[in-house]
Each structure stands twice: as structure tokens, then as C-alpha cells.
Amino acid sequence: MSKVKRILIANRGEIAIRIAKAANELGHDSIGFWTDNEPKAYHLEFCKEWVHLSGNNISETFLNIDKIVSLALENKVDAIHPGYGFLAENSEFVRKVEKEGMIFIGPNAEAIDLMGDKAKSKKIARDAGVPTVPGSDGVVDTLEEARKVTKEMGYPVLLKAVAGGGGKGMRVCLDEKELEKNFEAVQREGASSFGNPDLLIEKYILDPRHIEVQILADKNKIYHVYERECSIQRRHQKIVEESPSPFIGDDQKLRESICKTAIDLAQAVNYDSAGTVEFIMDGDKSFYFLEMNTRIQVEHPITEEVTGVDLLVNMIKSAFGEALDITSQDQITQKGHSIECRICAEDPITMLPAPGVINGFSYQLNQGVRFDHCIYPGVEITPDFDPMIGKLITFGLNRDVAIRKMIEALKHLKLIGLKSNVELQKVIVSEKSFKEGKYSTKYIEMIKPQEDLKEKSFNDKDFLEIIMSELVSKVVR
């Protein structure tokens, strides 16, 4: 066993809990921090130590490189794990951490730089023989140049901020009028959200599937941990994911091809940690490189469920230069099926964030059900952070079993005091197109599961009745 390391978790919520559990399992000291606007952060219960990061907003805390690095040095930290979001894909943060003699648990700064710029990453993909969506060769600076590019490839097209992410800085244009309307808007959004107004233009693929491949690497070898299907989205943000992809299905040749392609891209940038290569796939199963996320993904649990590979543990081991739990690609196999539903504090019909206080909650974990969450009675979900508060994950011997388990798990998940998308998720996983695996990124706008919902009121009395009922049933058993 390696020497005990002190790992600072520069994140919060369910991913901070997941990192703490992985660090503790390896015998390291997990250190979490609390902030002035979140003094009772739930993840601290899973950390061996707590430290205070002063500040009342994310600019003063989770996005403040100097403060986090100073806090780490004060507490004699050996390494920092960024989780996802915040500073996870910030190469300046990586370099500062390493300059101070600490280890960044994630990929090298050069890989983050190369994959973080959509124009650069697209060129690298082409040079590596990875198929890319037809589009501009680089940044498009003017509307006149945009007209020329789109005339050559034809409509519809997608305007994309080069530094965008999370669905921001993206606009679909069906004709020249929409191009003129959206061009400067995307530039402004890129500048305000990411500090970079540059944009690319790509051919917009109608009715695509969103398929991604999990990568896991150390300093010597790169492995793929198979694919995930992430096509059910709202506002270009995922809400349901599953593995294996039902669209790829039994086509093992296609599966091997897309996974090998992901490794080719990772090798082109000397990748050395956990990461995800994302593709879009059209109706004839041609696939094109979309982007690479140089961090652990929200949806990593479904990959862990179907392969048995602990991505967080191996990510930590890779950063410390230790041998991974796997020694060859042949050791990694897919077995069964796993589905993840993101549980968010949002209106189930409009799918817009709905901050509030969780007065109580109840859930039931049958065999094959996992709930990664950051919920406790009295927690306030604020507009300061992403509305996702948990991830409900099921595993079954096949897809039908995984769906059945998810339907049952959602029935027993009750959140009291605020709106959530639980009711929407119930509709989706019970709906015919989803059950048949016949869906695309257009699912929400075409199937419109939200229209089947009837808003329900669920008060504290109802919640107490559920709790009492469960207590009685346990006594009876």
C-alpha cells in the first residue's frame, strides 16, 4: 500500500462525496471544505477533515484558484481532486497546483488546453484520423465569412462557442435569417460565459444520437471503458444516460470502432487520466467527434456498474503514478445494463431550475439500485449552484430489468418542500419510445413527456404518512 496522502476535494455535493469515498478506500486522508454560504455541506460527513474556504459566492470560493491553492498549502495537502465543473478543466489551476509541488488528480495541463478549445480539438481529431462533423476549418470571425461557410455546406448549421460547454454558446440556424440573428448572440454569450467570443460553424445533424466513450489512462497506457448513450437531454444538457447504448445494440463491430477511435484521440494528446470522448451519431450509425471532456463525468456510475471498474479510485491511483486495477484492455468487459436519471431541483414541466428547501425526503434502494446524492432535511438548493441534487442509478442483467428497477426506484423517491424532475423521469422511463430504445437528442421536443404530467402537491403530512408506513412495515418484518 502506498504512503497515505492528503487529498483536498475542490468541489461539493454528490461528486465530493464520491471522491471522499474513493480516497478513504485507498487509505488516504480526504479533506473537504465548507464555505460561508454552505456551512453545513453534506459531503463533509464523508471527509476525514474539514477546512474553511471563506467566501459567499462561487467567484470567491470554488472558482478562486489562489484561495484554494493557499488553503491546500496551509493544510499540507499532497493532491487536489477537482471533481467536475468549477476548476476541473482549468489548465491554469493545474499549473498552479503543480508549481506549488502538489499533484492535480486529473489530466495534464497540455491535454486540457488542447481539448478545451473546440477549434484546436477538431484539428487534432482530423489529424488523428478521427471523423469530425463537416464545418469551418477554424474560427469564423465575421458574419460575411459565416454566410460563405454555410452556403458551401447548406443548412441547418450549428453555431458553437469554441470555449463553450454545458449547452451554453450553441445556436441552431435553419436559414440565413437565423444565422444573422444568432451570430453575434453566440459571440456575446461566449465572451460573457467563457471569456472568449470565438465561434465555429458545423453542419447540424438532424435527429442525432449522443454517444460517448469513457477513457481511463495512466502515464503509460490508455484504455477505453466502453460507451454510454446520453441522448435524452434538455437545453443540450443530459438528464438520462444508459450503458450500453441501445442504439448501438448488438453491433459489436461498431462498438469496437467507436471505442478504438476514442483511444486514438486520447493518444494524440498524451492523455493520462479519466476522461470522456463524445460523439454524435446519425441514423445510418456514422459517428463524428464532438468534444472531449477532460474530467470525470456526472454519468460515470453507469460505466462502473456495467464494467466493475472504479473510475474514481483508478483516477487517484493514476495521478500518484501507481498501477491501475486493470492491466489489459481484455480485462474490461460489459455485463448487464445500467441507467442513470439525474434528479434535479427544477420544474418538471418547464424544466427550469426551481430553488427551494428540502424539508424531508424518502427513498428505497432495492437490489441493483444506487443513489448518489447530497440531500439532507433542511438543505437549501440555491441558484448559486447547478440544480442537480442526485443521481439515481439502476443495474440489471438486461435493459428491461434496469428499466423495471428504475421505475420502481422513482416511485419511492420523495422530495418534500421543492419541485423536482422526479415525476418527469417517471414518465420518460415508462414511455414507449424510451422502452424500445428508439430515441434521439430530439426526444424532449418530439415526444414531449412533460405534457403528460399533472402537477402534484405533496405536503409534509403526506411525507410523514410515508415515513410512518415504512417504519411500520419494518417493524412487521
Residue with cell 483508478: 314
Torsion angle of C-alpha atoms 288, 126, 134, 121, degrees rounded to 10 = 80
> Quick check: 224 and 329 in contact, CB under 8 A?
yes
Residues labelled as active-site residues: 295
Residue 462: its pLDDT value, please? Answer: 52
- The end-to-end CA distance of the chain, in Å, is 43
Element at 80 (helix H, strand E)? strand 79-81
Domain spanning 134-203: CATH superfamily: ATP-grasp fold, A domain (3.30.1490.20)
Three-state DSSP class for 321? coil
Among 302, 307, 309, 304, CA closest to 338: 302
Residue 454: its pLDDT value, please? Answer: 62
Amino acid sitting at position 375 = I
CB atoms within 10 A of CB 30: 26
- Where in the chain are the domains? 6-105, 134-203, 209-460
Among 366, 345, 340, 364, CA closest to 356: 345
Report DSSP state, residue 402: H
Rounded Cα distance between 324 and 316, Å, is 9
Phi, psi of 253 (to 5 degrees): -65, -45
pLDDT along the chain (477 residues), means of 10: 89 98 98 94 96 95 98 98 97 98 98 92 95 90 96 93 82 96 95 92 92 97 98 94 98 98 98 98 94 97 98 98 96 98 97 95 96 94 94 98 98 96 97 97 95 62 50 44
Rounded Cα distance between 402 and 437, Å, is 13
Amino acid sitting at position 401 = V
Three-state DSSP class for 200? strand
Rounded Cα distance between 280 and 331, Å, is 27
> Quick check: 244 and 275 in contact, CB under 8 A?
no
Among 135, 142, 143, 108, CA closest to 119: 135
Element at 280 (helix H, strand E)? strand 274-281
Residue 457: its pLDDT value, please? Answer: 47
Residue 180: its pLDDT value, please? Answer: 96
Among 209, 117, 211, CA closest to 164: 117
Phi, psi of 57 (to 5 degrees): -145, 170
Q: Which CATH fold would you assign to the domain 209-460?
A: D-amino Acid Aminotransferase; Chain A, domain 1 (3.30.470)
Amino acid sitting at position 131 = P
Three-state DSSP class for 252? helix
C-alpha cell of 376? Answer: 439532507
Three-state DSSP class for 226? strand
Element at 341 (helix H, strand E)? strand 337-344
Cis peptide before 387 (omega within 30 of 0): no
Residue 471: its pLDDT value, please? Answer: 46
Rounded Cα distance between 160 and 198, Å, is 9
Q: Which CATH fold would you assign to the domain 6-105?
A: Rossmann fold (3.40.50)
Residue with cell 399533472: 454
Residue 459: its pLDDT value, please? Answer: 47
Rounded Cα distance between 278 and 262, Å, is 8
Residue 477: its pLDDT value, please? Answer: 43
Among 174, 165, 162, CA closest to 137: 162
| Partners of 456 in beta bridges | none
